[in-house]
Structure 1
Amino acid sequence: MTKCADVLVLGAGPAALCIVAELVQQGLEVQALASHAPNRPWPNTYGIWAEEVESLGMASLLGHRWSNTVSFFGNGVDEDGLAPVQHHFDYGLFDQAALQRALLLKCGDINWLVETAERINFLGANTEVCCRSGNTYRARVVIDASGHRSSFVRRPNHGPVAQQAAYGVVGRFSSPPVESGQFVLMDFRPDHLTKAELEEPPSFLYAMDFGEGVFFVEETSLACAPPLSWNKLKERLYARLQKRGIEIQEVLHEENCLFPMNLPLPDRNQSLLAFGGSASMVHPASGYMVGALLRRAPTLAKHLAKAIAIEPALNSEDLAKRGWQVLWTPELVQRHRLYQFGLSRLMSFDETRLRSFFGTFFRLPREDWSGFLANTLPLTHLLIVMLRLFAMSPWKVRIGMIFGASKPIS
Structure 2
Amino acid sequence: MDVVVVGGGPAGRALARACAARGLATTLVDPNPERPWRATYAAWVDELPAGAPIAVATSRARAVAVGEHLIPRGYAVLDNEGLRRLPDDVRVVAGRVVDRTDVTATLADGRVLRGRVVDATGAAGGRAAQTAVGVVVPKVRAAPFVGDDEALIMDWRKPPEATTGDPTFLYAIPVSADAVLVEETSLARRPGLPLPELRLRLHSRLAAHGIPVPADEERVRIPLDGRARDGAFGAAAGLVHPATGYSVAVSLRRAPVVADAIAAGRPVARSASERAVHALRLRGLAALLALPPDEVPEFFHEFFQLSGRLQHDYLGGHDDLRGTVRAMLRLFGSAPWRMRARMAFPVHSATSAGTTG
Equivalent residue number for residue 208 of structure 1 = 173
Corresponding pairs, count: 349
Shift in Å, 1:247: 2.3
Matched residue of 1:41: which SS? coil
Structure 1 pair 174/188, CA: closer, same or farther in 2 (3 Å)? same
Kindly indicate whether the alpha-carbon contact (under 8 Å) linking 2:171 and 2:182 is maintained by their aligned counterparts in 1.
yes
Q: Give the residue type in structure 2 aligned to 1:219.
A: E
Query: Is structure 2 residue 14 aligned with structure 1 residue 18?
Result: yes
Pick aligned residue for 1:245 from 191, 201, 209: 209
Deviation, structure 1 residue 210: 4.6
Residue 186 (str. 1) matches residue 128 (str. 2)? no
| Residue 43, structure 1, aligned to residue 38, structure 2 | yes
- Deviation of residue 118 (structure 1)? 1.7
**Using the alignment, how far apart are the partners of 1:210 and 1:26 within structure 2?**
33
When residues 145 and 238 of structure 1 are mapped into structure 2, their CA distance, relative to the original with a 3 A threshold, is same
For 2:338 and 2:205, how far apart are their aligned partners in 1? Answer: 27
Question: 2:69 matched to which residue of 1?
Answer: 85
Q: In the alignment, what sits opposite 1:261?
A: 224
TM-score (norm 2): 0.90
The equivalent of 1:153 in structure 2 is none
State the alpha-carbon separation in 2 of the partners of residues 19 and 377 from structure 1.
19
Partner of 1:290: 248
Stretches of structure 2 that go unaligned for 5 or more consecutive residues are none
Q: Does 1:58 align with 2:51?
A: yes
Once residues 175 and 337 of structure 1 are traced to their aligned partners in structure 2, the CA distance between those partners, rounded to angstroms, is 38
Q: Does 1:94 align with 2:86?
A: no
The sequence identity of aligned pairs, in percent, is 29
Map of 2:261 onto structure 1: 303
Shift, 1:397, TM fit: 1.8
- 1:121-160 matches, within 5 Å, as 122=101, 127-139=103-115, 141-149=116-124, 160=126
The amino acid that maps onto 2:249 is: G
State the AA in 2 paired with 1:7.
Answer: V
C-alpha displacement of 1:265: 2.5
Paired residue secondary structure (1:323): coil
Contact 1:6–1:28 (CA under 8 A) maintained in structure 2: yes
Of 391-400 and 340-349, the range deviating more from structure 2: 391-400
Superposition RMSD in Å: 2.4
Q: Which residue pairs with 1:313 in the alignment?
A: none
Once residues 35 and 317 of structure 2 are traced to their aligned partners in structure 1, the CA distance between those partners, rounded to angstroms, is 29
Q: Which residue does 2:137 correspond to in 1?
A: 171
8 Å Cα contact 1:147-1:277 kept in structure 2:
yes
> Which of the pair is proportionally richer in helix?
1
The Cα offsets for residues 200-226 of structure 1, whole Å up to 9 and x where unpaired, read as x21111012456653210011022111
Q: Which has the larger radius of gyration?
A: 1
The answer to whether residue 61 in structure 2 is matched with residue 69 in structure 1 is: yes
Change in CA separation of 1:191 and 1:115 when aligned onto 2, cut-off 3 Å = closer
After superposition, the C-alpha distances for 1:41-89 in whole angstroms (9 at most, x for unaligned) are 3221111111222xx1126x2111112411111xx34xxxxxx211121
The one of 343, 348, 355 aligned to 2:297: 355
Aligned mate of 1:116, from 80, 96, 99: 96
**For residues 403 and 24 of structure 1, do their structure 2 counterparts lie closer, same or farther at Cα, with a shift above 3 Å needed?**
same
Q: What displacement does 1:17 show?
A: 0.6
Q: 1: distance between equivalents of 2:176 and 2:278?
A: 37
Q: What corresponds to 1:235 in structure 2?
A: 200
Unaligned runs of 5+ in 1: 78-83, 150-156, 308-318
Indicate the residue corresponding to 2:239 in structure 1: 281
Shift, 1:8, TM fit: 1.1
Is residue 2:284 matched to residue 1:342?
yes
Q: What SS class does the counterpart of residue 172 from structure 2 fall into?
A: strand
Partners of 1:36 and 1:110 lie apart in 2 by 16
Change (3 A) 1:118 1:366: same
Q: Distance in 2 between matches of 1:396 and 1:339?
A: 21
